[in-house]
Chain A
Amino acid sequence: MSSINILLVEDNPGDILLARIAFEKSRFEINFQVATDGEEALDFLYKKGKFAGVETPDLILLDLNLPAKSGSEVLADLKSDEELKVIPVIILTTSQAQWDIIQCYKLHANCFVNKPFGFDSFDKVVTCIEDFWFSVVRLPKN
């Protein structure tokens, strides 16, 4: 696989930075993109406005607690879109509520991951995600 496109949908600048740093150390070549709210994420995916010409991501990391349009609403939207539904979506959230977990899987999230505490654990989770999704798993070609 050459360059991998990741879209992180996250409003907390601290989490964005943590993820950016963790993915920078990756053994893969990663094109890391960020949308800071649900509307922006959908604009990015539909390549609307300033996002005209962006590459469709290979993997989406989606926070649940987003301003205005929530993560689960974004998830529902893109999993009901014929073209976007094939992109794996990893929910990355602090929520440990059973209700959130069940709802996300019902909406066809590909997996549900809790934001780890501490950089070391964050780094470990990012490495796991990379190993599984970019090495173990075969993804559809864009």
Chain B
Amino acid sequence: MDPEWKHPVKILILEHEPDDIELLQYELRKGGLQYTSQVVQERRSFEAALRDFRPDIVLSDYVLPDFDGASAFYSTGEIAPDTPFIIVSGTIGEENAVELIKAGVTDYVLKDKMFTVVTKIARALKENREHKEKKDQEEKLAKYAHELERSNRELEEFAYVASHDLQEPLRMIGSFLQLLERKYQGKLDEEAHEYIHYAVDGAFRMKRLIADLLNYSRTNREFTLEQVDIAAIIRDVLKNLAASIQDSGAMILVDEMPQLTADPDQMLRLFQNLIGNAIKFRKEGATPVINIHARRDDAHWLFSVQDNGIGIDRQYAEKIFVAFKKLHNNARFEGTGIGLAIVKKIVERHGGKIWFESEPGQGTTFYFTLQPTNV
């Protein structure tokens, strides 16, 4: 018997032949089964027993005077689903038996092989328990997944709504502080103007942070895949960055670029952030040189954006992809620190990975992979 079974097995027996009942009980006792049983003969008492006796297993004859095994099986499914159901019959043919098992009956015992009944009960109970455990686990997992999805969605909605609604009062603060500054020019002392200046500056920086946060949360919310020509995307990026390319005198060399399935807006932000960073974190006195490569591996495209800038100290490897994490103060390098967090999110959203290699003072190369076709 299944060692996991702790209490006497409750067996509901649907049978009308006294001889058969006796034989069955004899085999059950002989098999050493700890059990209690209830014997019924027709539909009403059978269905009542399913409800009240709550059997662990049903043993049912196939042909009865005013009921039958198939209907009994159907009732069991309705009233006590997942209860193992074994047909015990002398008349059931092999063909019928196969049909019944296809329909979901657990097993069958031929009356002339009644000695197999305890083994079959044990097996049915074991399989039933395993099935239940598996089902419970799957349900639990599905519940967790659902819960996680819900809380993620809620968090994104929260970030979106919060940053949206934060903009309004902030616009008031920024606008009226600036108005104060303009209108009272010359009427307030220098100290007062310095205070106002810091407040205005704070409001404007806060505004950028909120805009970036909105952008960040949008990365997950808005996602449309289409065929994207990366070369065209990079041309757009270079147009957008024209001012800083000209100011810095940056040289940007672009390899042959592939076409792939991706979100075009996100591809633009991905390349714009990486190329923008490569220009921004340039070495003083050196012409920025930026190389952009793409190489096809078996499973994906491997891109690299290489610069000759200030480089990144290895100890900050984990930190640079964290939202709003900056390695420099605003006076040296302006920005909110969201760029690489968005970059990472975009790459991961497209099923890729991102990492970098860097030599402080020599330059940095960012590598990332993208799938050729996304689903």
Interface of A toward B, CB cutoff 8 Å: 12, 14, 18, 21, 94, 115, 117-120, 122
Determine how close the nearest CB of chain B comes to the CB of A117; give it in whole angstroms: 5
Which residue of B has the minimal Cβ distance to A18?
B175
Interface set, chain B 173-195, CB cutoff 8 A to A: 174-176, 178-179, 182
**In the complex the two chains form, what is the Cα distance from A88 to B178 in whole Å?**
30
Does B207 make an interface contact (CB < 8 A)? yes
Chain A residues with Cβ below 8 Å from B172 are 12, 14
Could you say which interface size class chain B belongs to? 10 to 19
Tell me if B175 and A14 are in contact (CB < 8 A). Answer: yes
Interface of B toward A, CB cutoff 8 Å: 167-168, 171-172, 174-176, 178-179, 182, 200, 204, 207
Q: Is the interface of A mostly helix, strand, loop or mixed?
A: helix
Tell me if B171 and A117 are in contact (CB < 8 A). Answer: yes
Q: Name the contact of B182 in the complex, choosing from A12, A94, A117, A120 (C-beta under 8 A).
A: A120
What are 8 contact pairs spanning A and B, CB under 8 A?
A18-B179, A115-B171, A117-B207, A118-B200, A118-B204, A119-B179, A120-B178, A120-B182
Determine how close the nearest CB of chain A comes to the CB of B32; give it in whole angstroms: 73
Tell me if B174 and A118 are in contact (CB < 8 A). Answer: yes
Determine how close the nearest CB of chain A comes to the CB of B10; give it in whole angstroms: 61
Chain A residues with Cβ below 8 Å from B204 are 117-118
Q: Name the contact of A94 in the complex, choosing from B167, B178, B200 (C-beta under 8 A).
A: B167
Tell me if B176 and A14 are in contact (CB < 8 A). Answer: yes
**In the complex the two chains form, what is the Cα distance from A18 to B174 in whole Å?**
12
Which residue of B has the minimal Cβ distance to A96?
B214
Tell me if A94 and B171 are in contact (CB < 8 A). Answer: yes
Chain A residues with Cβ below 8 Å from B168 are 12, 94
**In the complex the two chains form, what is the Cα distance from A94 to B207 in whole Å?**
13
Tell me if A117 and B176 are in contact (CB < 8 A). Answer: no
Given contacts A94-B167, A115-B171, A117-B174, is CB(A21)–CB(B179) below 8 Å?
A: yes
Which residue of A has the minimal Cβ distance to B180?
A119
Which residue of B has the minimal Cβ distance to A13?
B172
Tell me if B167 and A119 are in contact (CB < 8 A). Answer: no
**In the complex the two chains form, what is the Cα distance from A83 to B171 in whole Å?**
36
Chain A residues with Cβ below 8 Å from B174 are 117-118
Tell me if A119 and B171 are in contact (CB < 8 A). Answer: no
| Pairs A-B, 7 closest by C-beta atoms | A119-B178, A119-B179, A14-B172, A119-B175, A118-B178, A118-B174, A117-B171
Determine how close the nearest CB of chain A comes to the CB of B221; give it in whole angstroms: 12
Chain B residues with Cβ below 8 Å from A122 are 175
Determine how close the nearest CB of chain A comes to the CB of B167; give it in whole angstroms: 6
Determine how close the nearest CB of chain B comes to the CB of A51; give it in whole angstroms: 28
Determine how close the nearest CB of chain B comes to the CB of A20; give it in whole angstroms: 11
